[in-house]
Amino acid sequence: MRKGNLLIIDDEEDIIEIIKNILSQFSANIYTAKNGKEALEKIKTYKMHLIICDINMPKMSGVDLLKTIRAEENNVPVVFFTGYGNTELMLEAAKYGAFDFIEKPMFYQLEEIAQRGMQAGLKQEDPSMPIENLPHVEITKYQKLLKELSHKK
């Protein structure tokens, strides 16, 4: 599997370290930030292929960060990894094109979703890149919500 750049954003250093350990095998470079403002600087400096982001952080929420990223016409896949998941937040994240929304501490799910997100981010850069067969992923609450929304349209 090709590897790309990963940005992990969380105000808890322990969570950042766990995610780094889990996803290091799938990432060429791993960047970290403790809040949305710091993350924006990294995004302006480095090309990211995937972002793993908490929702509740000081200075800027994860959803506000996603809004800012999209306003700058950056379609990098963003996976929210949060302890504060609810339908309202998921709908807000969906409005701005979040790739997925996983509740902490579902680290096994994060690994599978991150592989798919990284592949999606790399494919944006190189549309001719073949899609690799990845292990089956358990459907998340967010994906179920998106499916329900698409059937209502």
Domains of the chain: 4-152 (3.40.50.2300)
H helix and E strand count, the chain: 6, 5
> What was the pLDDT predicted at 36?
94
Residue with tokens 């609810």: 86
Edge-to-edge order in the sheet of strand 50-53: 27-33, 4-9, 50-53, 78-82, 100-103
d(CA 142, CA 151): 14
Beta-bridge partner residues of 81: 102
- Taking 70 as the pLDDT cut, the residues of the chain under it are 134-138, 153
Tokens of 9: 């954003």
Query: Closest Cα to residue 81, out of 90, 73, 68, 70?
Result: 90
> What was the pLDDT predicted at 151?
77
> What was the pLDDT predicted at 134?
66
